[in-house]
Amino acid sequence: MRLTKLGHACVRLSYDGSTVVVDPGGFTDPEAVDGVDAVLITHEHPDHYDAATLRRTSAPVLTIAAVAARIAEDAPDVAERVVVVAPGESFTAAGIDVRAVGEAHAVIHPELPGFDNSGFTFTLGDTVVHHPGDSLVVPDAAVDVLCVPSSAPWLKASEAIDYARAVGAPRNVAIHDRIYSEAAHGILAGHMGRFLDPAGQAYVRLADGEDLTPR
């Protein structure tokens, strides 16, 4: 299993000859989709979904109904290769086992409209990876690697810490990292270490293009 952190909330997962990419949005270099076998989108916000980027690849796009509807409006030429998945559904993406988790985006403010969001749990051999998109829903599965949101308008540091603790993954990789300054990320990393290290949980923020080191 290979996990590569790309821009912002985007990660690339490779296993047994297949490669999928999750949430190649507007803060991610479009090259993130080059050569992939499938693209998965958690929700419709532009930092997770970019129609122009999807046009770079002919790979199928697996996503929830709300995103499929947005793609149909923005890029009808892409819509013909969209596969809609439902919250709670188990499916395969390029031969990789996936489960859609959760139905709603985290609340930014109660007076703003809500959005649909489903995270994805990937089974890659003996490694389970969870990407939550913009939510803090705890998957109903033991997770080995959690892609944990590190900065967002809807997120406090305490919530990121408590989410990682609730999921209980031994390894936690920072995503959604274009909101904070480098100084703020350093502060968060310190807090993550303070609370996760005693439980045997590691936290790391990878540079764009960097792979998670195998254990």
Torsion of CA 106, 110, 111, 114, to 10 degrees: 30
- Cα 29 to the chain's mean position, in Å? 15
Q: Indicate whether 175 belongs to any domain.
A: yes
User: What does the alpha-carbon distance between residue 128 and residue 1 come to, in Å, rounded to a whole number?
Assistant: 10
User: What does the alpha-carbon distance between residue 8 and residue 89 come to, in Å, rounded to a whole number?
Assistant: 26
Strand order in the sheet with 61-63: 2-5, 11-15, 18-22, 38-41, 61-63, 82-84
pLDDT at site 182: 96
Q: Indicate whether 214 belongs to any domain.
A: no
User: What does the alpha-carbon distance between residue 130 and residue 142 come to, in Å, rounded to a whole number?
Assistant: 10
| 209: its two tokens | 């293009």
What is the domain extent for residue 124?
2-110+117-204
pTM over 0.85: yes
Sign of the dihedral defined by the CA atoms of residues 179, 6, 13, 184, in that order: negative
How many domains does the chain fold into?
A: 1
Closest CA to 26 of 53, 62, 6, 5: 53
Q: Indicate whether 31 belongs to any domain.
A: yes
pLDDT at site 215: 72
- Cα 156 to the chain's mean position, in Å? 18
Q: Indicate whether 50 belongs to any domain.
A: yes
pLDDT at site 82: 98
Angle at the Cα of 13 (from 41 to 141), degrees rounded to 5? 75
pLDDT at site 213: 87
Q: Indicate whether 209 belongs to any domain.
A: no
Q: Indicate whether 210 belongs to any domain.
A: no
pLDDT at site 37: 98
Tell me phi and psi for residue 81, to 5 degrees.
-115, 20
Q: What is the pLDDT along the chain (215 residues), one digit of tens a residue?
A: 999 999 999 999 999 999 999 999 999 999 999 999 999 999 999 999 999 999 999 999 999 999 999 999 999 999 999 999 999 999 999 999 999 999 999 999 999 999 999 999 999 999 999 999 999 999 999 999 999 999 999 999 999 999 999 999 999 999 999 999 999 999 999 999 999 999 999 999 999 999 998 77
DSSP state of 100: E
Q: Indicate whether 36 belongs to any domain.
A: yes
User: What does the alpha-carbon distance between residue 123 and residue 3 come to, in Å, rounded to a whole number?
Assistant: 12
Q: Indicate whether 10 belongs to any domain.
A: yes
* Cβ partners under 8 Å of residue 174, min gap 6: 5, 148, 150, 185, 188, 203, 204, 205, 206
User: What does the alpha-carbon distance between residue 167 and residue 175 come to, in Å, rounded to a whole number?
Assistant: 15
Domain with residue 70: its CATH number is 3.60.15.10
